[in-house]
Amino acid sequence: MYGLSEQDLALQATARAFADELVPFEVEAEMNEGNLAEGMLEKLRQRAAYLGLHSTNIPTEVGGQGCTALQQVLVQEQGGRVTNTLAWVLATPPAWWVDVATPDQLERWLEPTVRGEVEECYAITEEHAGSDVSELAATVRRDGDEYVLDGVKWHVTSYNSASYCFFQGVLTEGEHGGEHALVVVDLPSPGVSVVRVPAYSHTTTHQHPIVAFEGVRVPVTHLIGQEGEGMTFAQEWFRFERLMVAARCLGAAERLVDEMTSFAAERRVGGEPLAAKQLVQAMLADSLTELYAARAMVYETARGIDEGLDRKVLHARASMAKLYASEMAGRVADRAVQVFGGRGYMRENVAERFTRELRVERIWEGASEIQRIIVADQLLKRGRAALV
Ligand SMILES: Cc1cc2nc3c(=O)[nH]c(=O)nc-3n(C[C@H](O)[C@H](O)[C@H](O)COP(=O)(O)OP(=O)(O)OC[C@H]3O[C@@H](n4cnc5c(N)ncnc54)[C@H](O)[C@@H]3O)c2cc1C
């Protein structure tokens, strides 16, 4: 099915079996603020690496798995079947960095990340700059052989476990004054401090603190690419990550369809299985149909990347895939809660957890409204036939 090669199917089976190993840990994580027994998350991370499921998006020359886009989707889809971010051990390091990293950057940060020894985090969003990154107020000022960074960043995911972060800010002067620069900051560093750690809907060990950068000094060798290129990398990351969000939403929807179908088949109401009720059947049928449609879209978009289609076309298709798959998964989760009834409102139930966890898929990496704006913009510029 879906024209997958032998190699694709083997990788998919490995990822599926690994995701199945993670599922039994979900409730323990949910009840313990995302934590598992001492050392267990590290063991799972090592196992993911051993199975070839870590760094699937990184070329083999840099130590990654060098998978096709479709294979990356297949792996992330299986990870999406698991709640409480346990499948984040299937990490996808910053592939956009590979072509522009200096030998020093490669050795100090990128290669250790690919080997799974360290983690990165992204400090881009601010209080007044989210969807519209061009509103960033954080600054990057050149001072001799150093840059001085100032700004307050929001939602810095995994700051608590990261060894370094990407800081995006506006250059204060020079030829590219007013444009963006992306700079690496080691963590901890003098001048970097946590303002506060808000609680979020999902239950995970990964925090998303508000982080202040006050007069933080880094050598100019920490600049990624050239001055003024900061926005380019964010755009590239979005294209990749939007497809991966869509892939994980497929996995979540599949798990929910499986779980609600088994429950409906077993649960007896009014002397017959819940699954015999046509109103319940409609929820199962709608969920399966939407999953089928979303999967076809996501796989086709990944194939387009592997075939080297035009970047703008792919940009629009990745937006369509993220928009549809994330909204589809949200609808499926909502129906699953309904099918489970009161049990679906209990935190030990997978549908309850997914209802909270999937909500953010419609917000991060470009909220649904932003995806619609991108799709409509491309439609009006290029015409329907270029995109679909
Ligand atoms: C759990 C979590 C983790 C995150 N992790 C990170 C991270 O690691 N690093 C990082 O830098 N950021 C991170 N983010 C930030 C995330 O990328 C932003 O929340 C997202 O881009 C939306 O920005 P915003 O929250 O400022 O919303 P806003 O931009 O203020 O948007 C609010 C609402 O208005 C809508 N809207 C905005 N513009 C338009 C428009 N032109 N037309 C119509 N509607 C519009 C949006 O779609 C949204 O519904 C994270 C966020 C969350 C919730």
- From first to last of the 388 residues of the chain, give the pLDDT tens digit: 789 999 999 999 999 999 999 999 999 999 999 999 999 999 999 999 999 999 999 999 999 999 999 999 999 999 999 999 999 999 999 999 999 999 999 999 999 999 999 999 999 999 999 999 999 999 999 999 999 999 999 999 999 999 999 999 999 999 999 999 999 999 999 999 999 999 999 999 999 999 999 999 999 999 999 999 988 887 888 889 999 999 999 999 999 999 999 999 999 999 999 999 999 999 999 999 999 999 999 999 999 999 999 999 999 999 999 999 999 999 999 999 999 999 999 999 999 999 999 999 999 999 999 999 999 999 999 999 999 9
Using alpha carbons, select from 321, 355, 283 the residue that is nearest to residue 30: 355
Question: For residue 233, what pLDDT is reported?
Answer: 85
Bridge partners, residue 171, by sequence: 140
Residue nearest atom 30 in ligand 1 by C-alpha distance: 130
Q: Which atom of ligand 1 is nearest to the CA of 129?
A: 26
Ligand 1 mutation pick, 166, 183, 185, 363, max ligand atoms within 8 A of CB = 363
Contact between residue 196 and residue 209 where contact means Cβ atoms under 8 Å apart: yes
Residue with tokens 């995970």: 204
Q: Is any ligand 1 atom within 6 A of the Cβ of residue 162?
A: no
Q: Is any ligand 1 atom within 6 A of the Cβ of residue 201?
A: no
Q: Is 338 exposed, middle or buried (0-12, 13-18, 19+ CB in 10 A)?
A: middle
Residue with tokens 């020079």: 174
Using alpha carbons, select from 125, 94, 300, 326 the residue that is nearest to residue 210: 125
Q: Is any ligand 1 atom within 6 A of the Cβ of residue 369?
A: yes
For residues 44 and 62, what is the distance between their CA atoms, to the nearest angstrom?
22
Is this structure's pTM higher than 0.85? yes
Question: For residue 231, what pLDDT is reported?
Answer: 84
Q: Is any ligand 1 atom within 6 A of the Cβ of residue 360?
A: yes
Query: Cis peptide before 198, with omega less than 30 degrees from 0?
Result: no
Q: Which atom of ligand 1 is nearest to the CA of 168?
A: 11
Q: Is any ligand 1 atom within 6 A of the Cβ of residue 370?
A: yes
Q: Is any ligand 1 atom within 6 A of the Cβ of residue 98?
A: no
At 345, which amino acid appears?
Y
Residue with tokens 């929910």: 256
Question: For residue 105, what pLDDT is reported?
Answer: 98
Ligand 1 mutation pick, 119, 126, 155, max ligand atoms within 8 A of CB = 155
CA of 268 to the centre of ligand 1 (A): 43
For residues 131 and 365, what is the distance between their CA atoms, to the nearest angstrom?
9
Residue with tokens 């086709």: 300
Q: What token pair was written down for 135?
A: 């509103």
Contact between residue 350 and residue 298 where contact means Cβ atoms under 8 Å apart: no
